Structure 1
Amino acid sequence: MTTAKEPIKVLASGDHFIAPQLFVDALKSAAPELEFDFRTQTTPWPLEPFGPVGNVKEASGTEEQLLEALGDAEIALVQMAPFTADVIREAPNLKLIGVARGGPVNVDVEAATAAGIPVTFTPGRNAAAAAEFAIGLMLAALRRIPSSDAELKKGTWRGDYYAIENAGIELDGTTVGLVGYGAIGSIVARVLRAFGSHVLVADPYTDPAKAEADGVELVALEELLRRSSVVSLHARVTPETRHMLNADNLKLLPEGAVLVNSARGELMDYGPLPEMLRTGRLGALALDVYDVEPPPADWPLRQAPNVITTPHLAGATRQTADRAAAITAAQAAAFLRGERPQFVTNPEALPGADGAGRPS
């Protein structure tokens, strides 16, 4: 006589963007043949900013809260929960961490790998949202939309914005440089080309044949900066890309260029920007990400002219939340069926990879 197999214990750790129930429903849909025992957790993000927790960054909640919620779970589907080295060490039953983000920055991947725990991620889950937002920031900066709105509400009719020396420029016929050409950058390029822009791309990992097929021009970063009236950042942060825009190369930009960053604050050195804006060397700056989030009260760019700021909202759409939960659940379902998940940060931790993976 055989005994019924125990339900698989799953932690669904969400927040006020990706609710835990989204993970629950997505995993049930992705693996209807399996039985699950769910426990849930809601971290405070985005009502409270994420930040470093233990030895990981961009996390929400505490290690103690996570361990209490985790219990003896085998699978964790998470958004911001802090899977530090200490948490991983205290979770001997854990076999998979599925992270609903483009990169698992809230997980100590080295500790997870050493423990035989694969860590999955969700590339492209917010690509459409972030691309649309970047285009919106460009248009807002080029056409003075936020400042015109604010001044009209105060009773000031800025007819002088129609004067030729103050008039904006169109995307049609303008050269726009994209730094990074992954899922988001490629969508931005497609939209820009529909506007009629000439698109330059700086990304050492882009296949020249793909760039040619997409109708964009692949160039070095320095050339992109020299030629672009608008520059938009879409790269990931790595040791090589940190402060890739800095005092040395920002001066290559044409006079009055517009700079947009909706990717990651660490890609730029923000120090030179206030003076560049005050002198008109930089025509406008549109930011959704910052070197410190949220920016402090004495942040120099608060007083600089022609700055548009939004609170890290580029990926904030309902479709992004649904998509992130679905992709994360699909990776977990594949793992539970003994298949290889599509997006694994540390494939060497998968079962059967040189003896890695925690036993079932």
Structure 2
Amino acid sequence: MLTAGDNFVLDSLLQDALTSVIPAASLDVTHHTLPWPDVPFGPIGEVIEASGDEDRLIEALRGVEVCVTQMAPFTERVIAASPDLRLVCVSRGGPVNVNLEAATAHGVTVTSAPGRNAEATAEHTLAMMLSAMRRIPQTNADLNAGVWRGDYYRYENVGPELEGATVGLVGYGAIGRRVTRMLNGFGAEVLVFDPYVDQDQLGSHARAVGFDDLLARSSIITLHARVTPETTGMMGRDQIAALSPGAVIVNCARGALLDYDALCDALDSGHLFGAAFDVFPEEPIPASSRLLTTPNIVMTPHLAGASKATALNAARIVAEDVRRYLDGEPLLYAANPEASAHRRSLSGGDRG
């Protein structure tokens, strides 16, 4: 077994999680540490958001049946060069660093850890929302520079409160549900647009509405949708223009959901009060990006899910699926459950 940890989901956390659910006598674990986040992730071969080197990973996988990782690049080349591999457990919400088609073709089952960072991301979303509404980063920077700006108190420069505000959520998954709970505590009215959620599921916590209605009624918009062909660019120029003057947009989901150029135009014109982003169309942000010069934007470098609890949750979730695999039980979060059957057809009955 191989742990391919990094500097967030540590090899030691993965090892401890494994030994907490699997007898030590059943474990023969080696470690292979990846450079993320000290070195940004990016595309490697045909996979995205991966970290490390294919050749070093291939060497580390020699004779390995099970690998638990967060960022290792499981490209077609790596998978094809690892004939003993049966299971890859990715400690992320989705296995974007794995070529699933190649894994399935080679009979390698892939799992992930959905919901691992839901609480951390929800908390960060609220922090970003409040920061944009109350100009916290800007005023802090001024004070650090020795500048006391009384004009922040002018009526046209102050922001809204959450108490009594109408907040629109685009998407109502694990993170959206937690954000709704927090907003309820602030006394906000919550509207939700999610084609897969109806009013019965929302209960008294929020109201289900259409997308156009949500845009027209919300003074704050926060994005929590997955990126699909239907959601890519869903917050474009027309949708931003449909927001009421002085609105705030928060995106801690994925950069592809939002037209950032149109948003910068809306901030420059004064149509929007502010915006807060943890995700971007290109990461790291290029030095030429308008996001670095447009006023009233709060930004963090894709770390909404970064908490100690997230790392511990990630290790715990993948360790449980490794235990299930070793005990012959159904896996919790298999992304390609058909791989095990394909493996048996290839090898005539290997465990899978």
TM exceeding 0.5: yes
Q: Amino acid of the residue matched to residue 132 of structure 1?
A: E
Quote the sequence identity (%): 50
In 1, Cα distance between the equivalents of 2:249 and 2:344? 47
* Cα offset, 1:240, TM superposition: 2.1
1:203-257 Cα distance to aligned partner (Å, 9 max, x none): 112243111x252111222221121111111112222222121123221111111
In 2, Cα distance between the equivalents of 1:355 and 1:175? 55
Q: Which segments of 5 or more consecutive residues in structure 1 lack a partner in the other structure? A: 1-9
The match for 1:223 among 213, 217, 233 is 213
Partners of 2:343 and 2:350 within 8 A in 1? no
1:300 has 2:290 as partner: yes
Q: Amino acid of the residue matched to residue 10 of structure 2?
A: A
**Residues 1-360 of structure 1 mapped to structure 2, 5 A cutoff:** 10-32=1-23, 35-211=26-202, 213-351=203-341, 359-360=350-351
In 1, Cα distance between the equivalents of 2:96 and 2:258? 19
Compare 146-155 and 186-195 and name the one that shifted more.
146-155
Partners of 2:88 and 2:110 within 8 A in 1? yes
Count of residues in Structure 1 that have an aligned counterpart in Structure 2: 350
Q: More helix per residue: 1 or 2?
A: 2
* Cα offset, 1:30, TM superposition: 1.4
Q: TM-score, normalised by structure 2?
A: 0.96
* Cα offset, 1:334, TM superposition: 0.6
In 2, Cα distance between the equivalents of 1:356 and 1:27? 29
Compare 239-248 and 93-102 and name the one that shifted more.
239-248
Compare 349-358 and 273-282 and name the one that shifted more.
349-358
Partners of 1:348 and 1:356 within 8 A in 2? no
RMSD over aligned Cα atoms: 1.7
Partners of 1:133 and 1:314 within 8 A in 2? yes
Q: Which segments of 5 or more consecutive residues in structure 2 lack a partner in the other structure? A: none
In 2, Cα distance between the equivalents of 1:33 and 1:278? 60
In 2, Cα distance between the equivalents of 1:28 and 1:240? 42
- Runs of at least 4 residues of structure 1 off by over 3 A? 350-358
In 1, Cα distance between the equivalents of 2:233 and 2:314? 28
1:11-37 Cα distance to aligned partner (Å, 9 max, x none): 100100011121111111111275111
What SS does the aligned partner of 1:350 have? helix
In 2, Cα distance between the equivalents of 1:87 and 1:352? 19
Partners of 2:151 and 2:157 within 8 A in 1? yes
Partners of 1:350 and 1:356 within 8 A in 2? no
Compare 32-41 and 162-171 and name the one that shifted more.
32-41
In 2, Cα distance between the equivalents of 1:113 and 1:223? 42
